[in-house]
Each structure stands twice: as structure tokens, then as C-alpha cells.
Amino acid sequence: MSFMRWICTLVGWALGGYITGNARGDLLGAILGFFIGWGIDRAIACASKPKSFATTSSAVKDIATLATAVMKADGKITKGELAFARAFFRKSFGENGEREAVAIIRDLMNAYISVGHVCINIREYVSMQTRVRILRFLFGLAKADGNVNYKEISCLEFVAGQLEIDDDIFISMKEEFYQEFDRKTDPVPNKVNPAYAILGVSPSASNKEIKKAYHRAAFECHPDRVAHMGEEMRRAAEEKTKAINAAYESIKKERNL
């Protein structure tokens, strides 16, 4: 609700009349107070708005760049990885997004990639829940060719760190995707429910934090927010929403909430 503009209007009206001692002062004070309050309301609204990429094109560019870095980590990019990437971008951003992503990947195959720079850009504009979903895609991408390389895992760990994703979330996702790893050479601490990673919270988060993360994730992925982008995007949002709801129910069951 926009309360500050009305509060400031009343304060301005009172102070204007008090200072000038006439009705004109009341009016001028009320007008000045209204615009001051309007500015405060806008600042509050902007600060509380969920972060997101500036444009779809910037989202495709940054995610495709990280995808290329992960695929290149083991020294080769396989057909299975490319197919997985294409399917993701087609499902998430439509055919135009897929074509744009493929072009970016091709351009970066033999180029240097500043992973840290891309992560800084994502971290600045994107919410934690979205960052976790990006990391989930990258985990699936690394596994797409059926041959997970430890260099890919190192790259994923670096990306997670640069995106400031909680260590517990990284471990949970790693456990979910790579349970077949040799535990002697790649130990995974205590298995945790992957539902926490889906909501983008640590397993040590409080019940209140988990509920807040669930509502934010559900809001960000709501099909109505992407309905104008076509049926394909709407269906993808519905699938994400189902996964988020299932994750929250799993955590509630685990915690007896």
C-alpha cells in the first residue's frame, strides 16, 4: 500500500499552515508533502521488487555463457550437452532464445570466458531462487553426456561460490545429481533433502525463512507472469511451480509442519 504519500501530505499540510499561518501555506505544504511521499513510496516499491534480468536477451546471454564454461571444463563439448542446452533454452525462452543461446555458445567455444564477471552481473540483478535454478540447470548440463568430470564439478563449485549460493545448497544439489560418484575420492557429507535446493534455502534455514522462500519462488515462477510470452513459456512456468510446491510439501513433511 502507498501510505507515505498521504502521511507526508498531512504532515506538509500541518507544517505549511503552522509556518505561514494562512491557507495558502496549508495547500503548498500538502502538495510538497505529497510529492515527497510519492518519491518514498516509489523507492520502497523498487527495493521490495523481486530481482530479475533486465531483459530476456541478457538472461539468455549470461546463462549461455555459464553453460559454455561448464561444457568446456573437461576440454570438450559433446552432442549430448548441446542437445540438453538447446532443450533448456527452447523450453525457458522459446525458439528465439534457443537460437540466440546456440549462437553465443558457438562464439565462445574457443574464446576466454570470464565466469566471475558473468556471475557478478547475475548476482546483482537476479534473486537467490533464480540463481539456484540456474545452478540446477548447469548441474544437469554437466551430467548430460553421462560422463561427469571432476573439472566440471570444480567449475560448478566456483560458479556457486561466485553466485553466493549457500554451501549446503551446493552439496544438496551435488548429492541429488551425482549420487553415483565414488565417495572415497569425492566424499559427499550427510545427504540432505534436495527440496531445499529447489527453494534456494539452506537446510539449516528456519521455518519462517523457508516459508518466505517458498512464497517468493512461487511468485517468481507463477504462470501469469509469463503468459504474455507465449504458451511454451507458460507451460514451463507451470512445471516449475509444481516442482516448487512439491519441494515445499516435502520440507513440511520432513519437519512435521
172-227 residue pLDDT tens: 888 777 765 444 344 444 455 667 767 777 677 788 888 888 888 788 777 787 66
213-252 residue pLDDT tens: 888 878 877 778 766 666 766 777 787 788 888 888 888 8
Q: What cell numbers appear for 193 in the block? A: 533433502
Q: How many residues does the chain have?
A: 257
Instruction: Write 77-82 long-range contacts (CB < 8 A, 24+).
Output: 77/105, 77/109, 78/144, 78/145, 79/145, 80/144, 80/145, 80/146, 81/141, 81/142, 81/144, 81/145
| 166 confidence band (pLDDT: 50, 70, 90) | confident
pTM score of the predicted model: 0.56
Cα angle 166, 172, 175; round to 5: 140
Nearest-CA neighbor of 137 among 98, 179, 87, 97? 87
In whole angstroms, how large is the CA radius of gyration of the chain?
24
